[in-house]
Each structure stands twice: as C-alpha cells, then as structure tokens.
Amino acid sequence: MKAYLLKLYKSFLNSKLITKIFVILSLIIYAAILSITLIKVEYEVIMPGGLTPVSDYINIDTDKKMGEVYTVSVYTKREISLFQKWIGKLNPHLDLEKYDPKNVLTKEEDIKQGEIYRNLSIKYSVIVAYTEAMKNNPNVNITYEFTGAVIYHKFKNTPKELSLGDTITKVNGEPVTIDNYEKILLRNSPIDTDTCNVNQKEITLTVIKEGKREETDIKVNDNCNKKYLIEAFLLPDFNIKEATPKFNQKKINNLGPSGGLMQTLGIYNALVDEDVTKGYRIVGTGTINLNGTSGIIGGVKQKIITAQLIDLLYNYPIDIFFVTADNFKEAKYIYERLPNPSFELIEVNSFSAVLEHLNKKVAKK
C-alpha cells in the first residue's frame, strides 16, 4: 500500500500543470464536502412523521369499534451535520431548533422520558374516557388510585440519587397527594440571601424505584434562584385497579404525550353505544389532562403537513384534524398555505369540545 501511494505521488509530480490543478481542486472540494457532512452542529431537525390508529396499541374488550381515530407523530434528529442544517433551512416541511447540549438528556434518557410521558398519557386517556362513558353506559366502570409523583424530566443538577421514572410518595414523612404533589416540593423556608449559597437542607424522600419502596436522604443546596427543593419535573401517577370492560395496552414505538386527546376519543367510542366519530376519519394532536382539558404539544407544523402528505402520497384523505387551542394559531397558519387540504381544522381545548363538535355533524355516508 505504501509503495502504491508513493508511486501515485510521483506520478502526480510528473504530471502536467493542468492535471495538478484539477487534482488539487478535486481534493479541496472532496475535503469540503466531507467536512460539512461530518461536522456536527447543536441543532435538531423536526420532520413530518406518520399516523397511528389508536386501535393498534389500545384494545378495549368490547364488540364496539374505536372508529378511524389516529394519532400523528413527527420524527426528530438531534446533533445534525452542517450539511443537514443547510438542507433543513431550504425545506419548508422541516424545522430547525438550536439546543444547549448541557441541558439535554442522553439518548437513553430521552427515550425513557418519552416512554414515561406516553404511558402516563395512556393512563390519563383511559381514566378520562371511562369516567365520561360512565355517564352514558351503566356497564362501564373504573377505579383507580394516586400512587405518587413520578419524575419524567431531569436536569444536570437533579440529585444523582434520583432517576427518571422514580415515584416520590413522601417528603419528610408527609404523604404526597394529588392535591399537594407540586407544592410539597417547593422550598418551605424563607431564603437568607446572605447565606443561601452555602446552607444545606436535608430532606428524606420515600421513593418507589423499579417497584421497590425505599427511603432516600438527599442534601439540597440552597440557591437564591431556585424555586424547588428538588429540581426535576413531576407528574401525578396512578394505578388503575379495575376497569370494566377490560383494556390492555400493546407495545408501540411512539413516544410522548401528544396522542392523549385522540386516545381518549378512540377509547370513549369503544365504550358507548353510539358511534361518536360518525364514520369520519379523524386525526388530532394534544395532551389530555385528568380534568379533560387538552394541552400544548410540539411539532404541530409537521403534524399538519403529515396529514396532507398522507392524502397526497397514499390517497388516504383525512376528514377532521383536531388541534389544541394552544397550538391553533400556528396550525392555522400552516393549514391556510396547504394546497387544497382534504380535512377541516378544528380548534378544541378539551375532550368535551371534541364530543361537542362531533355531535353537531351528520353521519358520513
């Protein structure tokens, strides 16, 4: 190999000037292309994704069907190349977002967080749908209990003793409840601005880790800018003790909570006698809260585009696209620039608003 390279080099030295110039320029161009494809930048790209029928991953033990109800997802890729960033800027279907690598989770943590979000979202959908269906169907019933506050997002300064998925049940012996799970972790003493960077407060947490209950002593450094004793994001978790009819959750690769609103609709439709979907093909995006309200999600631009692409590429037109009120302005901006969208875009802020809109529609023939 060494002899071959040496021969190649001598051949280059003995070549004509025009050949040398061509070879050098080719190497420069090659090096430039190689650089822009290998150099990573601190951006993530958000791309259109796909549709998933709710019935693909949630099954209700009843003869009633969920109807054509779909969640919509996007694809994201972090730490893209410089070349991918340039392409992203030129493609109107993509969005680029800069991120701080110091404040992001590892790939494994990111997946874990998405799984926690998704599983909580499905629990919330089941609880809301069954609770609403009980008003119309005496054969529907659900009982559940609050189990604690689960950690679904960590920061660099989250105590190392805590992991994603840990469920906090007590703080200094005081039970965590659905009513106090946020307040109980707020700092509970006045801040002394002269000593706030050196004082320490030791708290004892009762935590469920991988199904095992244990007490963990954590020292928390006071900080003038800190609002919470434990810097982590928490959500209420529940154990569904019994549900009639029974339901089961199948494996799904989709992550996050944005399917909550449509999951609730699909489950509810399988529990009541009437077909509330009226035969329409329905897509939507938005979280679901225990009180039935729907919250903000990310990637709404790509989700609207996904619904349009599904129609154009597969001749699979969508009839209705529900979007949460917090995302409606951005969704409408994109929707109004689509070429002849097949679906109507509907703004909602709760599950009851979804049912109200569908109740006004005539069944699709």
170's tokens:
């007590």
**Distant-in-sequence, close-in-space partners of 7: CB < 8 Å, separation ≥ 6:** none
**Distant-in-sequence, close-in-space partners of 185: CB < 8 Å, separation ≥ 6:** 149, 168, 171, 228, 229, 230, 234
CA distance 329 to 298: 13
Phi, psi of 181 (to 5 degrees): -65, -25
Burial zone of 44 (CB within 10 Å; 0-12 exposed, 13-18 middle, 19+ buried): middle
Mean pLDDT of 158-186: 80
Average pLDDT, the chain: 79
pLDDT-wise least confident of 16-20, 22-26, 32-36, 334-338: 32-36
Amino acid at 120: L
pLDDT in tens, 38-90: 666 666 777 788 889 989 889 989 988 888 899 988 877 766 566 666 665 66
CA distance 337 to 343: 13
Mean pLDDT of 188-203: 52
- Measured from the Cβ of residue 34, the count of other Cβ atoms closer than 10 Å reads 11
Amino acid at 237: D
**Distant-in-sequence, close-in-space partners of 51: CB < 8 Å, separation ≥ 6:** 70, 71, 72, 73, 283, 306, 307, 310
- Residue carrying structure tokens 């951006």: 43
The CA-based diameter of the chain, rounded to the nearest angstrom, is: 93
Residue 191's pLDDT band (cuts 50, 70, 90): very low
pLDDT in tens, 203-243: 777 888 877 777 777 766 545 455 566 777 888 889 899 99
Q: Which of 15-19, 49-53, 176-180, 295-299 has the highest mean pLDDT?
A: 49-53
Angle at 360 between CA 359 and CA 363, to 5 degrees: 75
CA distance 52 to 252: 9
